[in-house]
Amino acid sequence: MTFKAIIDEIENNLKKILSDISVLEVDFSVEPSKSGFGDVSSNISFLLANQLKKSPKDIAEMISQRYLELPKTLVVRSKPHPSGYVNFLADWEKLNQLILSESILPEFGNVDLGKNSTVVVEHTSVNPNKALHIGHVRNIIIGDTVSRILRKVNYTVNVLNYVDDSGLQVADIIVGFKHLGFEQEPPDGKKFDHYCGDDVYVKTTEKREQDPSIEEIRRMVLKELEDGDSEIVRFRDRITRRVLSDQLETCWNLRVSYDCLNFESQIIRSGLWSRAFKKLKEMDLIKFENEGKNQGCWVIRGEKEENDKVVVRSNGTATYIAKDIPYAAWKLGLLEDPFQYSKYEKEQPCAKTLWQTTLSGGTYSRNFSGEKVITVIDSRQARLQDIVTSLMGKFKSAPDAYVHLGYESVTLSSDTAKTLGLDTDGKQAQMSGRRGLYVSADSVYELLKEKTLKETKTRHPEMSEYEINQIAHNVAVGTIRYEMVKQDLDKIIVFDLDKSLSLEGDTAPYIQYAHARASRILEKAQRAPSIDVDFAMLKEKSELDLVKTIGLFDLNIRDAAKNLSPKVISRYCHDLAVAFNLFYEKSKVLDLGDENLERARLCLVNSFKITIKQALDLLGIDAPERM
């Protein structure tokens, strides 16, 4: 238990008071207070006003008086506020001991929401025809962070990456290589995924728009790709696997890992659709239209006729959604698994095995389905995802079994776009892979790393090249990851290189620097911190605020997991860093001339260091010892 211990104590005593006054089923809240309103507050008085025919202020006074008569361990006083809230003051000597003793344990912050059930998180899912750009990175980091949070609350998480290797964008690069004379090897020094995206894809698209005959060639290529074992299919596999390999290197560099790669071309050939189609008809989830604009088609009925979605056209061909439906059902384990699995040819840096689907030559011993599925896809695809979500809820008889976690796009500030070679006339840069108007994730990382390298060399000329490189890497990765999750998912991100590297404000380096500061204090102390201290020594406001913020770790994890909100953890990291920096400014730790106080403050610094490191790890961000 942490700060939740005092919340639980207050909730139980308030329920006892409600029972004593014969009031039941009041859904009141008990929450950490804002500064100046005690340590914990409850809104219970407002919810009783109608039943008791009294003002919230009078009820708060009555409840506070009754509360004082109850046995209590962590509360020293209850106090009515004129507004009607009931505020509670903590016994900080006891709470200090409880929170700081628990914060050093490996299981600190653990919350058992998942009960070891299995959840699938699918993210990334970028066409293997180009390098990842900074817009893709928001998807990747949201998905990876949600996966980390769900593991912390005791879910078994299967992370999937859907590789769309059979679509129009892949056909474009095949046309470029096979019909427009592009060399298959990139220029020296250029990654293959960058070459395919910057040169082959963009220039093929330009030529196709200028020459209608190339459109016909693309249609021919798409038709050839339908054959599971043709020369063009084998060529497609070689090209897309090379692009995918480079994309994965980018993801791994950002501390992202996966459990399985799923290939669209295999899903199409697997027979999953025919099984799903049969089941949809049996369950009466799709209808055959005998008349009207969709005559001869199989459709998913919407609330209105114009919202009907065609699944199978009148000529018997399946629409795009016909690929999503069986794949979604497979992820939920509702269809027999047609795949075999083999290990991916490269090892992930985290040492976790990466598997990939195959239709031959693998092993059947893997299961990547889950009782629940979370699919991270940008909000522009919300309508299609709503249809799949509704359909899967009926398929599984569980409306919340399939979740679309949507998010808005990423733009570049005009200054950052200019730094990276895009002229936007002072406007934010909207990205388009087809037009070549994008900034790769690799280039953003390299620029951030270079800026950090220069700063670190200036601050620490005594450091080795390896140490400086490691710090620069960790700060660059941390900066990118933090900028992708600190905003609400329904808000557009305007990414700015200079602001994101600031050691002030809501940035990753600000938080990482707080950890480095704490590390330096403990290093200077030249002794191991201990919890065998006098916890009553910690009584200054900056000390108690820091203890309280440390104690809120598990409550924030619970909130983030329940709402699939990485922002909750990023906000908590920032709040914790702010609390530590205020403590750092107000409270000297070493050379105090008071051994007991020094030991108590070292204990607090150590608890902060452990907690911020754990919290940053949930965001996939490293906590450097020095910066």
pLDDT tens digits, one per residue of 61-78: 999 999 999 999 999 999
User: Which helix (H) or strand (E) element contains residue 501?
Assistant: none
Confidence of residue 571 (pLDDT cuts 50, 70, 90): very high
In contact, 371 and 401? CB cutoff 8 Å = yes
The pLDDT, as a whole number, for residue 496 is 83
Q: Which of 375, 446, 378, 419 is nearest to 135 (CA)?
A: 378
Candidates 3.30.1360.70, 3.20.20.370, 3.30.450.20, 3.40.50.2030; correct CATH number of 4-90?
Answer: 3.30.1360.70
- The DSSP bridge partners found for residue 355 are 260, 343
Residue 104 and residue 607: Cα distance in Å, rounded? 6
Residue 458 and residue 409: Cα distance in Å, rounded? 36
DSSP 283-329: TT-SEE-SSSTTTT-EEE--SSGGG-EEEE-TTS-B-THHHHHHHHH
* Extents of the domains making up the chain: 4-90, 412-500, 508-618
Q: What is the mean pLDDT of residues 424-432?
A: 71
Q: What is the mean pLDDT of residues 130-137?
A: 93
Mapped onto helix, strand or coil, the DSSP state of residue 73 is coil
Confidence of residue 439 (pLDDT cuts 50, 70, 90): confident
Q: Which of 110, 108, 113 is nearest to 155 (CA)?
A: 113
Residue 616 and residue 511: Cα distance in Å, rounded? 9
Residue 330 and residue 163: Cα distance in Å, rounded? 15
Q: What is the mean pLDDT of residues 22-35?
A: 90
pLDDT in tens, 272-309: 999 999 999 999 999 999 998 889 999 998 777 667 88
Q: Which of 336, 334, 348 is nearest to 392 (CA)?
A: 334
The pLDDT, as a whole number, for residue 434 is 56
The residue among 442 and 360 whose pLDDT is bigger is 442
pTM value?
0.93
Number of neighbouring beta carbons within 10 Å of residue 383: 11
In contact, 159 and 147? CB cutoff 8 Å = yes
Which residue's entry shows tokens 């903590």?
A: 90
- The mean-pLDDT minimum among 52-61, 77-86, 299-308 falls in 299-308
The pLDDT, as a whole number, for residue 499 is 82
Confidence of residue 264 (pLDDT cuts 50, 70, 90): very high
The pLDDT, as a whole number, for residue 305 is 66
Token pair for 245: 């390999």
How long, in residues, is the chain? 627
User: Taking the alpha carbons of 457, 141, 520, 585 in that order, is the dihedral positive or negative?
Assistant: positive
User: Which helix (H) or strand (E) element contains residue 395?
Assistant: helix 382-396
Q: What is the mean pLDDT of residues 162-189?
A: 93
The torsion angles phi and psi of 15, rounded to 5 degrees, stand at -65, -35
Q: Which residue type sits at 360?
A: S
| Residue 227 scores a pLDDT above 80 | no
Rg over CA atoms, the chain: 28
* Buried/exposed code over 271-306 (b: 16+ C-beta within 10 A; e: otherwise): ebbebbbebbeeeebbbebeeeebeebbbbeeeeee
Fold of 508-618: Isoleucyl-tRNA Synthetase; Domain 1 (1.10.730)
For the chain, give the percent of residues with pLDDT over 70. 97
| Residue 433 scores a pLDDT above 60 | no
Q: What is the mean pLDDT of residues 99-127?
A: 96
Q: Specify the long-range contacts of residues 198-202, CB closer than 8 Å, at least 24 apart.
A: 198/130, 198/131, 198/436, 200/172, 200/173, 200/176, 201/129, 201/130, 201/169, 201/172, 201/173, 201/176, 201/433, 201/434, 202/434, 202/435, 202/436
Give burial (CB, 10 Å; 0-12/13-18/19+) of 56.
Answer: buried
Question: Residue 262: which residues within 8 A CB-CB, separation 6 or more?
Answer: 160, 161, 162, 163, 327, 356, 357
The pLDDT, as a whole number, for residue 360 is 87
Residue 616 and residue 620: Cα distance in Å, rounded? 6
The pLDDT, as a whole number, for residue 541 is 94
Which residue's entry shows tokens 């006054």?
A: 21
Residue 327 and residue 266: Cα distance in Å, rounded? 11
**DSSP assigned state of 110:** -
Q: Which residue type sits at 279?
A: K
Residue 65 and residue 179: Cα distance in Å, rounded? 85
Q: Which residue type sits at 164?
A: D
**DSSP assigned state of 370:** -
Confidence of residue 203 (pLDDT cuts 50, 70, 90): very high
Confidence of residue 431 (pLDDT cuts 50, 70, 90): low
The pLDDT, as a whole number, for residue 424 is 73
pLDDT in tens, 528-537: 999 999 999 9
| Residue 348 scores a pLDDT above 80 | yes
Residue 418 and residue 582: Cα distance in Å, rounded? 37
Residue 557 and residue 574: Cα distance in Å, rounded? 14
The torsion angles phi and psi of 75, rounded to 5 degrees, stand at -110, 130
The pLDDT, as a whole number, for residue 15 is 96
The pLDDT, as a whole number, for residue 435 is 57
Average pLDDT over the chain, rounded to whole?
Answer: 92
Confidence of residue 197 (pLDDT cuts 50, 70, 90): very high
The torsion angles phi and psi of 39, rounded to 5 degrees, stand at -105, -30
Token pair for 34: 């804002």
Which residue's entry shows tokens 């994890």?
A: 557
